[in-house]
C-alpha cells in the first residue's frame, strides 16, 4: 500500500472515531410506545403454561401425523390477479393442494413461518390507503378460510401501521406466535410462544420464533417497547418447558429466521443485536426438536421427496415463499414402553395448482376489484418499449431523484436504491400509459423517505457499493445506493464525491440527504458501516418512494429525464 493511501485511510478512521465520540453520549427523544397496553386478542388470547401429565399410548400403537407449511406469503393471493405472473403462485393456488392433503390426512396441521401481511398491493392498499375498510386483510380472510392453526410473526409484519397489525391479530382465527418477542424489558410476552395440539393421542408442541433482526429494518416507532431475544436461548427455554411441563411427544420449531448464520451477521454485531439467521444453529445445537422450519430467507428445501434431511443435526426444511407451494412433513410414531417414539419421517414439496380456487377469489372479489381500480390509475407517461435492466435502473434512479426534488425542494440530495425490479411487461401494455400497477412491479418494497444529516465521510461510505458497481464488481442489490444532486466520479479505484458547485466533498462537510427508511434503519448494514447515529435523522416523512414517483409521473412537472426517453414518452393529450 502506498504512503498516500495509508495516510488517507488513517485520516478516515480518525474522522469516524471522532464522530462516534461526539455522539456517544446523546440520548434519543422518547418514542411513543404503541404496544404499552397491548394484550393479545382473537385466537391468540389466553396463553398460559399448563402442567400436563404424559400421554400413555397403548403398547404397539402406530400413528402417522402430517404437517403442512408455508412461509413468506407477503400477502400474495394469486398470480392471476393484481400483478400477474407466469408461474402459478399465491394462497388461492394452494387450496386444491391442501384439499387433497386433507383427504389423505384428515388431521393435517397447517402452519406458516411469517412475513404474511406485507408485500402485495392488496395488503398495502388495505393497510395504508383504506385501513378503515372494516374487513380483514384479504390474505387473512383466505388463511381463516383455509384453516391455518398458527402463523409466526415476521419482520415485515411490522411494516403496516401498528393498529393494522393489532387488528389483524384480532381478526385471525388462528394463533400468532413468537417465543422471543417481549414487552417491558422481557417481563411480558408480545404473543403466545407456542401451541399444543393433540392428534391421534400424540401431543404436539409447535413453537414460533421471530428474527431478532427486526430493529435493522423496521421504523423505531413501530416496535418501540419491544425486545427480540436470542433465538438459541429462546429455543432452549421453550423446549425445556414443552418437554418437561407440557409433556409433548413431538416438538416442532417454526422460525422466521434463515439457516445461514453468516447472513447479516456482521451487521447485527455492529448494532449489538442477536444474530438474525440462526435456525440452522438451533437445528445443530438444541437437540429437543424433532423438526425445524426455517422461513425469512425465501429458500425452498427439500424440493424432492426424501426421508432424510441431513444438512443439520435436526431435520430442517424451508417452505419457499409467495405461495409457490406447500412443504409437507409426515411423522410416524410408535408406542414403546408407554411413550411415543419417533419411528420415521418423510418430507416433500407440493407445487401450487395452475389455477386458483374460484370460490375463494369470488369471496374476495369486491376487495380485489377495488385494489385493481387503484392500480389502474394512469400517469402522463406511456411505454414505448420494454426496457433492459440497465435502462430501467438508470431511469428509476433519475425519476426518484426528480420526484424527491419536486416534493422537498431544489436543494434535495438523494442516496436512493440503484436497482429497480424488472418483471414481465405484457405486449398489450406497450403504447399505453404507465400505471400505478407498473410502479408496484418496479418498486415492490414499501419504503418511505427519511432525511438524514450526514458528514462527507459518511456519504462516501454509503456510496461504497456504488463505487464497486462502477468498477464492474458484483454488489448486493439491496445495498446499492446511487447519488442524486451530487456527483460521484471514479478516479482510478477511488470515488470522488462532487458537490453542485463542482468542489469535492470533504470528510467533515455536512449535507442533508434523503434515504429510504430501510437503509436509514440499518438495512444492508449501510447505517452501521457509516456510523449514522439516531440524532442525525432529521425527518421521517412516511411518504412512500413508490407513491412519490407515481405522483411525479402523474403531474409530469418537467420533461422526462434523458435516461428514460429511450423507453418512455410523454403521453399526447388530445386538444
Summarised one tens digit per residue, pLDDT across range 5-54 is 444 444 444 454 444 444 444 454 556 688 988 999 899 999 999 999 99
Give the sign of the dihedral formed by CA 426, CA 430, CA 435, CA 441.
positive
Q: Which of 344, 368, 392 is the last residue of a domain?
A: 368
Contacts 24+ apart (CB under 8 A), 556-563: 556/379, 556/380, 556/381, 557/406, 558/402, 560/381, 561/395, 561/398, 561/399, 561/402, 562/398, 563/391, 563/394, 563/395, 563/397, 563/398
Does the residue 2 lie in any domain?
Answer: no
Alpha carbon distance, N-terminus to C-terminus of the chain:
66
Q: Which of 368, 384, 415 is the last residue of a domain?
A: 368
* Radius of gyration of the CA atoms of the chain, in A: 25
Residues 6+ apart with CB under 8 A from 36: 183, 225
Does the residue 27 lie in any domain?
Answer: no
Least confident of 182-186, 499-503, 511-515: 182-186
The rounded Cα 83 to chain-centroid distance in angstroms is 18
| 454-to-311, 340, 512 alpha-carbon distances in Å | 44, 61, 6
Does the residue 185 lie in any domain?
Answer: yes
Does the residue 1 lie in any domain?
Answer: no
Does the residue 4 lie in any domain?
Answer: no
pLDDT, position 574: 58
Residues 461 and 528 in one domain: yes
pLDDT, position 67: 98
Residues 435 and 326 in one domain: no
Question: Cα separation of 279 and 209, whole Å?
Answer: 9
Residues 478 and 449 in one domain: yes
Residue in the block written with cell 432529521? 538
Query: Is residue 389 scored above 80 in pLDDT?
Result: yes
Q: Which residues pair with 544 in a beta bridge?
A: 448
Does the residue 49 lie in any domain?
Answer: no
Burial class (CB in 10 A: 0-12, 13-18, 19+), 9: exposed
Residue in the block written with cell 410462544? 193
Residue in the block written with cell 426517453? 565
Residues 220 and 312 in one domain: yes
Residue 573 pLDDT class (50, 70, 90 cuts): low
Residues 345 and 482 in one domain: no
pLDDT, position 529: 86
Q: What CATH number does residue 114 fall under?
A: 3.60.21.10
Question: Cα separation of 186 and 536, whole Å?
Answer: 29
pLDDT, position 31: 66
Q: Which residues pair with 306 in a beta bridge?
A: 347
pLDDT, position 476: 87
Question: Cα separation of 302 and 305, whole Å?
Answer: 7
Question: Cα separation of 253 and 238, whole Å?
Answer: 10
Does the residue 228 lie in any domain?
Answer: yes
| 514-to-92, 366, 455, 541 alpha-carbon distances in Å | 39, 38, 13, 10
Query: Is residue 445 scored above 60 in pLDDT?
Result: yes
Residues 304 and 382 in one domain: no
Residues 6+ apart with CB under 8 A from 17: none
Q: Which residues pair with 207 in a beta bridge?
A: 194, 253
Query: If you average pLDDT over every residue of the chain, what do you get?
Result: 93
Question: Do residues 463 and 481 make contact, with C-beta atoms less than 8 angstroms apart?
Answer: yes
**Chain segment 187-204, per-residue pLDDT in tens:** 899 999 999 999 999 999
Chain length of the chain:
575
Query: Total domain count for the chain?
Result: 2
Residues 6+ apart with CB under 8 A from 355: 80, 88, 93, 96
Residues 6+ apart with CB under 8 A from 224: 31, 32, 33, 34, 35
Q: CA nearest 178: which of 256, 242, 122?
A: 256
At 344 the three-state DSSP class reads strand
Q: Which residues of 314-339 are buried (b: 16+ CB within 10 A; e: fewer)?
A: bbbbbbbbbbbbbbbbbbebbbeeee
Q: Which helix (H) or strand (E) holds 61?
A: none
Question: Cα separation of 129 and 159, whole Å?
Answer: 14
Cis status of the peptide bond prior to 201, with omega within 30 of 0 = no
Q: Residue 119 — left, alpha, or beta (φ > 0 → left; ψ -120 to 50 → alpha)? A: left
Residues 242 and 312 in one domain: yes
Least confident of 229-243, 290-304, 370-384, 495-509: 495-509
Q: Which grid coordinates belong to 365?
A: 372479489
Residues 412 and 337 in one domain: no
Q: Which domain holds residue 203?
A: 67-368
pTM for this predicted structure = 0.92
Least confident of 149-158, 178-187, 256-265, 512-521: 178-187
Query: Is residue 117 scored above 80 in pLDDT?
Result: yes
Question: Cα separation of 551 and 536, whole Å?
Answer: 28
Query: Is residue 148 scored above 90 in pLDDT?
Result: yes
Residues 256 and 399 in one domain: no
Q: Which of 339, 368, 397 is the last residue of a domain?
A: 368
Residues 139 and 265 in one domain: yes
DSSP string for residues in 113-167: -S--SSSSHHHHIIIII-TTSSS--HHHHHHHHHT--EEE--GGGGSS-HHHHHH
Q: What CATH number does residue 388 fall under?
A: 3.90.780.10
Residue 260 pLDDT class (50, 70, 90 cuts): very high
Does the residue 60 lie in any domain?
Answer: no
Selected residue with higher pLDDT from 2 and 229: 229
Residues 186 and 119 in one domain: yes
Residues 92 and 204 in one domain: yes
Amino acid at each position: 500500500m502506498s504512503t498516500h493511501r495509508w495516510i488517507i485511510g488513517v485520516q478516515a478512521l480518525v474522522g469516524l472515531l471522532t464522530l462516534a465520540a461526539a455522539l456517544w453520549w446523546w440520548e434519543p427523544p422518547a418514542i411513543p410506545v404503541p404496544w404499552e397496553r397491548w394484550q393479545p386478542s382473537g385466537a391468540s388470547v389466553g396463553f398460559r403454561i399448563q402442567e400436563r401429565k404424559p400421554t400413555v399410548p397403548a403398547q404397539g400403537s402406530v400413528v402417522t401425523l402430517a404437517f403442512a407449511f408455508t412461509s413468506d406469503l407477503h400477502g400474495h393471493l394469486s398470480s392471476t390477479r393484481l400483478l400477474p405472473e407466469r408461474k402459478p403462485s399465491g394462497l388461492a393456488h394452494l387450496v386444491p393442494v391442501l384439499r387433497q392433503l386433507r383427504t389423505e390426512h384428515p388431521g393435517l396441521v397447517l402452519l406458516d413461518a411469517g412475513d404474511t401481511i406485507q408485500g402485495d398491493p392488496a395488503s398495502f392498499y388495505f393497510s395504508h390507503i383504506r385501513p378503515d375498510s372494516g374487513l380483514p386483510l384479504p390474505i387473512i380472510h383466505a388463511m381463516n378460510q383455509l384453516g391455518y392453526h398458527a402463523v409466526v410473526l415476521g419482520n415485515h409484519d411490522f411494516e403496516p401501521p401498528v393498529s393494522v397489525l393489532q387488528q389483524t391479530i384480532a381478526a385471525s382465527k388462528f394463533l400468532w406466535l413468537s417465543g422471543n418477542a417481549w414487552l417491558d424489558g422481557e417481563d411480558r410476552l408480545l404473543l403466545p410462544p407456542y401451541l399444543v395440539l393433540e392428534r391421534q393421542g400424540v401431543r404436539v408442541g409447535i413453537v414460533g420464533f421471530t428474527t431478532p433482526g427486526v430493529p435493522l429494518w423496521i421504523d423505531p416507532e413501530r416496535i418501540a417497547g419491544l425486545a427480540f431475544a436470542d433465538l438459541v436461548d429462546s429455543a432452549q427455554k421453550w423446549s425445556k418447558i414443552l418437554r418437561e411441563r407440557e409433556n409433548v411427544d413431538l416438538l416442532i420449531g417454526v422460525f422466521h429466521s434463515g439457516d445461514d448464520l453468516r447472513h447479516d451477521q456482521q451487521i447485527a454485531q455492529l448494532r449489538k443485536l442477536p444474530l438474525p439467521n440462526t435456525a440452522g444453529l438451533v437445528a445443530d445445537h438444541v437437540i429437543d426438536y424433532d423438526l425445524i422450519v426455517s422461513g425469512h430467507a425465501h429458500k425452498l428445501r427439500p424440493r424432492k421427496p426424501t426421508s432424510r434431511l441431513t444438512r443439520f443435526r435436526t431435520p430442517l426444511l424451508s417452505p419457499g415463499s409467495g405461495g409457490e407451494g406447500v412443504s409437507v412433513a409426515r411423522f410416524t410414531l410408535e408406542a414403546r414402553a408407554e411413550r411415543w417414539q419417533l419411528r420415521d419421517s418423510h418430507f416433500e414439496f407440493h407445487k401450487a395448482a395452475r389455477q386458483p380456487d374460484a370460490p375463494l377469489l369470488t369471496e374476495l372479489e369486491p376487495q380485489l376489484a377495488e385494489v385493481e381500480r387503484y392500480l389502474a390509475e394512469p400517469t402522463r407517461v406511456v411505454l414505448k418499449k420494454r426496457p433492459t435492466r440497465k435502462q430501467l435502473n438508470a431511469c428509476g434512479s433519475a425519476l426518484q431523484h426528480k420526484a424527491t426534488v419536486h416534493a422537498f425542494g431544489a436543494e434535495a440530495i438523494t442516496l436512493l436504491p440503484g436497482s429497480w425490479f424488472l418483471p414481465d411487461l405484457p405486449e398489450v401494455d406497450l403504447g399505453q400509459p404507465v400505471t400505478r400497477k407498473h410502479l408496484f412491479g418496479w418498486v415492490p418494497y414499501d419504503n418511505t423517505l427519511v432525511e438524514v444529516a450526514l458528514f462527507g465521510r459518511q456519504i462516501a461510505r454509503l456510496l461504497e457499493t456504488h463505487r464497486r458497481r462502477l468498477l464492474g464488481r458484483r454488489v448486493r442489490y439491496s445495498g446499492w445506493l446511487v447519488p442524486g444532486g451530487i456527483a460521484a466520479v471514479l478516479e482510478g479505484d477511488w470515488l470522488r464525491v462532487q458537490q453542485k458547485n463542482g468542489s469535492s466533498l470533504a470528510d467533515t462537510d455536512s449535507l442533508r440527504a434523503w434515504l429510504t427508511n430501510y437503509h436509514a434503519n440499518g438495512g444492508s448494514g449501510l447505517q452501521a458501516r457509516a456510523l449514522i447515529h439516531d440524532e442525525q435523522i432529521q425527518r421521517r416523512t412516511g411518504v412512500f418512494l413508490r407513491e412519490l414517483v407515481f405522483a411525479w409521473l402523474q403531474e409530469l412537472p418537467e420533461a422526462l429525464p434523458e435516461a428514460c426517453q429511450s423507453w418512455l414518452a410523454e403521453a399526447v393529450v388530445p386538444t
